[in-house]
A = this chain, B = another copy of it.
């Protein structure tokens, strides 16, 4: 059973001139599969369709992607498939070739081992010493130039926390390293407006579709101090409550458990 497909063929090596490798020149999606099905598939494809034109890349064929993902996920109880769409090979340094031939790299990963206890008991987070650059034209897109997230994740690892909250250079609260944020302020669930940084997550997109009471607005450090609860949401782990933020104990908002139940129903229906 191959663990990766490159342009449809079982293969685990990428040409050294791939632009994803050389310049972070790619889009990617990290898709949760349960029993061979991906309940959030349509939202992943919606984001890809929105991001490809922003990166001046051709749109992939979603049917082809779906078939190849099913091939990789076949026989797996749960797994994660990363879909990478690099801008292929060629061009003159940063300049892409006139005729772009994207490379599809699909990689299957095992289901993360410790998601369930963290979902139940909550995660420990810190405010990252890494801030994100502000005013990015590509804010919202899930492109492959993610050195800031790597650096934040390395700081989190060294600090022994599970996740981190990221501000941007202008002091706006943006997201977690691998997920979006939901805060409860004055009993109102609110998610930070991304502004010029961060990724518009598929998990959050799902939450918006089931929870009309979720507001979106610009948030800063003072909002974070006033939050009674904080949650991190992404398309693999779902919604996890934050139980400690920079050492401060937080409560678990009842909505978090309700959303987790909706999430579980969505994924159980896939079984």
Please give the residue numbers on chain A whose beta carbons come within 8 Å of chain B beta carbons, in ascending order.
4, 6, 11-25, 28, 30, 55-56, 82, 84, 86-87, 91-96, 98, 105, 107, 112, 130-138, 143-157, 168-170, 177-178, 196-197
From B17, B144, B147, A55 is in contact (CB under 8 Å) with: B147
Contact B177 A196 (CB under 8 A): no
From B13, B56, B112, B154, A15 is in contact (CB under 8 Å) with: B13
Which B residues are in CB contact (< 8 Å) with A16? 4, 6, 11-14, 105, 107
- Bound Cα distance A95, B163 (Å): 10
5 A–B contacts from the bound complex (CB under 8 Å):
A13-B15, A23-B24, A23-B146, A23-B147, A144-B147
Q: Chain copies in the assembly?
A: 2
From B107, B130, B133, A134 is in contact (CB under 8 Å) with: B133
Contact B92 A112 (CB under 8 A): yes
Which B residues are in CB contact (< 8 Å) with A155? 56
- Bound Cα distance A134, B139 (Å): 12
Contact A151 B14 (CB under 8 A): no
Contact B197 A133 (CB under 8 A): yes
Contact B170 A95 (CB under 8 A): no
Q: How far is the CB of A145 from chain B (nearest CB, A)?
A: 3
- Bound Cα distance A22, B16 (Å): 13
Q: Which partner residue on chain B sits nearest A82 by CB separation?
A: B22
Contact A136 B133 (CB under 8 A): yes
- Bound Cα distance A25, B112 (Å): 21
Which B residues are in CB contact (< 8 Å) with A112? 92
